[in-house]
Structure 1
Amino acid sequence: MREISIRAEAYNNQFNTSEPEEILRYFLNIYEGTIALATSFGAEDQVLTHICTSIDPECEIFTLDTGRLPEETYRVWERTERLYGIRIRPLVPEQDALERLLREQGINGFYESIEKRKRCCEVRKIDPLRRALAGKDVWITGLRREQSVTRSDAKVVEYDEQFGLIKINPLLGWSTQRVWAYIREHEIPYNELHDRGYPSIGCAPCTRAVAAGEDIRSGRWWWESPEHKECGLHLKKRKEEKEEATHE
């Protein structure tokens, strides 16, 4: 794992100020067959889908179909496949795990505590993502620093400790305005919920519109404090945890 971490750091030094097209062209070529884009059909992921398919029409793109996505997300999913002539790989929750979750905490138990919400995310998102990334060397994401306080220290290329691979965030330094300018310029399909005040879109019960001027992630898990607003897909070990692991 240390070798992968060192390689990721070297890549970050190489591509830290590069444009997304340059980054993606390099990695899609070098890691052909072991690289994949994860999309939730948000604005950033739609930009990356456009760029990736223009470089390699057969690049792997997958999505986590949690079973509780808004209907609008399914509609843009269909439009995206039709426009680019592709099939996006769906990953769904494991049946036994999902049934056990519902027996234990009910259909909407995730509202009751952070622990229950994270357990729901684990079953519906993290476990399927683990399956999607099995055998992969590189994971492409639409993370941007501007999105959340939990993403402020992300790098363009970094080692993902949780999944043991290289994660690239080509749009990391882009502003919201730049994302939307690109979408308009290239006439890229997007989730219609964005036009209704939803800057960030996840599962329907955990997503709502935000008021003008509010933080762009304030509509996700709005009953929780900002430092907890991650589902677990992009979590990093805290400094104390790393030090403990070093001394074990």
Structure 2
Amino acid sequence: MNEKERYSYHTLSQQDYRSFNQHLAEGNALDVIRWAYDTFSHQLVYACSFGAEGIVLVDLISRAKQDATIIFLDTHVHFKETYELIEDMQAHYPSIQLKMIQPELTLAEQVAKHGEKLWETNPDLCCYIRKNKPLKQALEGYTAWLSGLRRDQSPTRAKTEFVNKDDKFQMIKICPLIHWSWDDVWQYIKDHNLPYNPLHDQDYPSIGCEPCTKPVKEGDDLRAGRWTGLQKTECGLHINTPISKE
């Protein structure tokens, strides 16, 4: 077994993760991305939501690996602005390999099985069907995945490292933007004249599925518009709990 082959969820020790993070501690986001592709090569994939952080990461990734694979979880209930942005990004980065990941159930099939507006009656189940389960299937065959998590996004993300053990998907999760602020993200977008979702200019800092995303009042948490009124702040992709069943 060569050095790269031993780098997997099942073979890395806690000391390995500490060593990786110590090695990357003085680097910037692009350094982390280059290290990730050098270490995991074609076994690395980026799961992108095309939020502001996602735009930054796609641009950085294109500088490290022009033909990188990116996956997008197409829940079929995203904003039209999100789909339009994806088209713009594909034109902007023609070498990027984008895969639109579809849930097993169409919206009509989900209604027939679970009733109308599952995102209101059982949002966790809806997220499982349309995001968690499809991502788990899409990640099969990969060793590591990139994510745009930042520590200042929410308390649940405050201890995220560059290189993380992802017990949920049994993979290695790499988060190059952990030290970036919201202002850092937008300064990069402006400095590089990157396309972005126009909903960000309408008080939508965090953009997910249309039924579960609302504008945020000035001074509120950046993710306050997600699942407003519910005891829910995450779709579950970044919480290390077992994937539930239908």
Whether the aligned pair in 2 keeps the contact of 1:16 and 1:157 (CA below 8 Å) is: no
| Alignment-derived partner of residue 50 in structure 1 | 59
Whether the aligned pair in 2 keeps the contact of 1:9 and 1:159 (CA below 8 Å) is: no
Q: CA deviation at 1:28?
A: 1.1
Which of 230, 235, 240 is 1:236 aligned to?
240
Distance 2:133 2:193 in 1: 34
Distance 1:211 1:66 in 2: 26
Whether the aligned pair in 1 keeps the contact of 2:67 and 2:97 (CA below 8 Å) is: no
Distance 2:180 2:101 in 1: 28
| Alignment-derived partner of residue 144 in structure 1 | 150
Q: Does 1:161 align with 2:167?
A: yes
| Alignment-derived partner of residue 30 in structure 1 | 39
**CA offset digits 1:11-31 (Å, max 9, x no partner):** 122213420010101111221
For structure 1, the 5+ residue unaligned runs are 239-248
| Alignment-derived partner of residue 177 in structure 2 | 171
Distance 1:80 1:140 in 2: 18
Whether the aligned pair in 1 keeps the contact of 2:118 and 2:125 (CA below 8 Å) is: no
Q: Does 1:21 align with 2:27?
A: no
| Alignment-derived partner of residue 76 in structure 1 | 85
Whether the aligned pair in 1 keeps the contact of 2:105 and 2:129 (CA below 8 Å) is: no
Distance 1:92 1:53 in 2: 24
What's the secondary structure of 2:12's corresponding residue?
helix
Q: Which letter does structure 2 place at the counterpart of 1:70?
A: F
Provide TM-score, normalisation by structure 2.
0.89
Cα gap change, 1:39 to 1:146, in 2 (>3 Å) = same
Q: CA deviation at 1:211?
A: 1.0
Which of 200, 216, 219 is 2:222 aligned to?
216
Q: Which letter does structure 2 place at the counterpart of 1:156?
A: F
Q: Does 1:103 align with 2:84?
A: no
Provide TM-score, normalisation by structure 1.
0.88
Cα gap change, 1:87 to 1:137, in 2 (>3 Å) = closer
**CA offset digits 1:120-178 (Å, max 9, x no partner):** 00010011101221111111000011111211122121110011111011001110000
Whether the aligned pair in 1 keeps the contact of 2:68 and 2:97 (CA below 8 Å) is: no
Distance 1:165 1:4 in 2: 10
Q: Which letter does structure 2 place at the counterpart of 1:40?
A: S
Aligned CA RMSD, in angstroms, stands at 1.7
In the TM superposition, what are the counterparts of 1:200-211 in structure 2 within 5 Å?
A: 200-211=206-217
Distance 2:20 2:156 in 1: 22
Whether the aligned pair in 2 keeps the contact of 1:160 and 1:167 (CA below 8 Å) is: yes
Q: Does 1:93 align with 2:103?
A: yes
Q: Does 1:10 align with 2:16?
A: no
Distance 1:192 1:49 in 2: 17
Whether the aligned pair in 2 keeps the contact of 1:5 and 1:159 (CA below 8 Å) is: no
Whether the aligned pair in 2 keeps the contact of 1:8 and 1:166 (CA below 8 Å) is: no
Q: Does 1:190 align with 2:196?
A: yes
